[in-house]
Amino acid sequence: MEISTTPSTVTVDDARLAEILDNPGFGQHFTDHMFTVEWTPDAGWHDARIEPYGPLTLDPATAVLHYAQETFEGMKAYRHDDGSIWSFRPEENAARMVRSSHRLALPVLPVEDFVQAVDALVAIDQRWVPQGEGEKSLYLRPFMFASEAFLGVRPAQHVTFMVIASPAGAYFKGGVKPISLWLTEEYTRAGRGGMGAAKTGGNYASSLVAQQEATRHGCDQVVFLDGQEGRYVEELGGMNMYFVHADGRIVTPQTGTILEGITRASIIELAGKLGHQVEERKISIDEWRDGVTSGDITEIFACGTAAVITPVGELKWDGGSVPTPEGGGNLWRQIRQQLVDVQFGRTEDTFGWMHQIV
């Protein structure tokens, strides 16, 4: 892919950048540039460019605003101690976007073009990648949307793919605390034949009211059950789940209607290497309750790009609860440390997961 570059003439100055990187928060500050490439049926992907970061001008009839035909990704760039900058399994994000785009009737952006676009943006805005201490990173948001101005319900004939970037601070501030979960019995996020496995805005829009319910009940996050029987654990609003058993087995909900998390997939490989048997299967809410009550489930954790891994505490629903597992295990901590060490280049990358950008 040929990428043209128009450098920004109004970049954030060094003093302000240092202030932002000191306490970046999440998704609040954006780098000096953005990447864009357009697609039409006749020309394919064309006009790839890096330009100064700034607002888009959209026709009010732009299809994505009406029918939500869009997909996105979430990934990070990590600075290693020698100053080099790396991403974690970027081709997996690219491949997931291909799968999501297929479900949303969007065109396929080739994996190598996706990786090239992300690399080009990180390279030009490399001063925005924080030093690695405190697990700071540069969060990357590739996204694709129906940019044709047309109100008919059909796949758009003009599509735009963009990448923007935003520095991200540590997920755990002031120490690790298990997250509390609200089990929503009213809302589901996916159904058979639906788009639960796709990373598309509509799934997140539909999760918001359930998250509000969780907050109202004093819980940190919401957990969704399957849409068909309302019995099987699917995932959280933005993380996959793992259950650790007393005999060392670890169990995670099977794919199909959940997002195929790249952290989830990496944990399967890492845990296997650590000697744990990993089962991908259905897990009922009864199995969760009985396992914690009997002591057979010793740890529960959630995983995703943002937090890497976070322990799960109490589960609550209307009229009931399951307490925090009391197994006292710390497999979550061990796996988390190994993943973070690979991402920040502090241990050997035996899986070949890291991709050097700068």
Ligand X SMILES: Cc1ncc(COP(=O)(O)O)c(C=O)c1O
Q: For residue 198, what are the contacts with CB-CB under 8 A and spacing of at least 6? A: 71, 99, 100, 103, 104, 259
SS3 23: coil
Residue 355's alpha-carbon distances to 116, 134, 232, in angstroms, are 11, 21, 36
> Is residue 252 at the binding interface for ligand X, with CB under 6 A as the rule?
no
SS3 306: coil
Q: Which stretch binds ligand X (CB under 6 A): 19-27, 115-123, 124-132, 237-245?
A: 237-245
User: What value does the CA radius of gyration of the chain take, rounded to a whole number of Å?
Assistant: 21
In the complex with ligand X, the residue whose CB is nearer, 39 or 88, is 88
Q: Count residues contacting ligand X (CB under 6 A)?
A: 12
Looking only at residues 13 through 32 of this chain, which bind ligand X when binding is defined by CB under 6 A?
none
CA distance 21 to 219: 30
In the complex with ligand X, the residue whose CB is nearer, 148 or 235, is 235
In the complex with ligand X, the residue whose CB is nearer, 169 or 304, is 304
> Is residue 304 at the binding interface for ligand X, with CB under 6 A as the rule?
yes
Q: Which stretch binds ligand X (CB under 6 A): 36-44, 156-164, 258-266, 348-356?
A: 258-266
Q: Which stretch binds ligand X (CB under 6 A): 58-66, 255-263, 289-297, 309-317?
A: 255-263
Q: Are strands 4-5 and 44-52 parallel, antiparallel or unpaired?
A: parallel
Q: Which stretch binds ligand X (CB under 6 A): 39-47, 144-152, 238-246, 338-346?
A: 238-246
The nearest distance, CB 38 to ligand X, in angstroms, is: 26
Among residues 37, 259, 285, 339, which is the contact residue for ligand X, using CB under 6 A? 259
Looking only at residues 59 through 78 of this chain, which bind ligand X when binding is defined by CB under 6 A?
74
In the complex with ligand X, the residue whose CB is nearer, 36 or 207, is 207
In the complex with ligand X, the residue whose CB is nearer, 122 or 239, is 239
Sign, CA dihedral 260-265-271-275, equals: positive
In the complex with ligand X, the residue whose CB is nearer, 240 or 298, is 240
Tokens describing residue 28: 């609040």
Q: Which stretch binds ligand X (CB under 6 A): 39-47, 208-216, 233-241, 249-257?
A: 233-241
CA distance 309 to 332: 7
CA distance 156 to 68: 11
Q: Are strands 44-52 and 33-40 parallel, antiparallel or unpaired?
A: antiparallel
> Is residue 188 at the binding interface for ligand X, with CB under 6 A as the rule?
no
Mask for 260-299, x = binds ligand X (CB under 6 A): -xxxx-----------------------------------
CA distance 267 to 262: 9
Tokens describing residue 117: 């676009």
Q: For residue 301, what are the contacts with CB-CB under 8 A and spacing of at least 6? A: 241, 242, 244, 309, 310, 311, 312, 332
Owner of token pair 């760039």 = 77
Residues at the site binding ligand X, with contacts judged by CB under 6 A: 74, 235, 238-240, 259, 261-264, 304-305
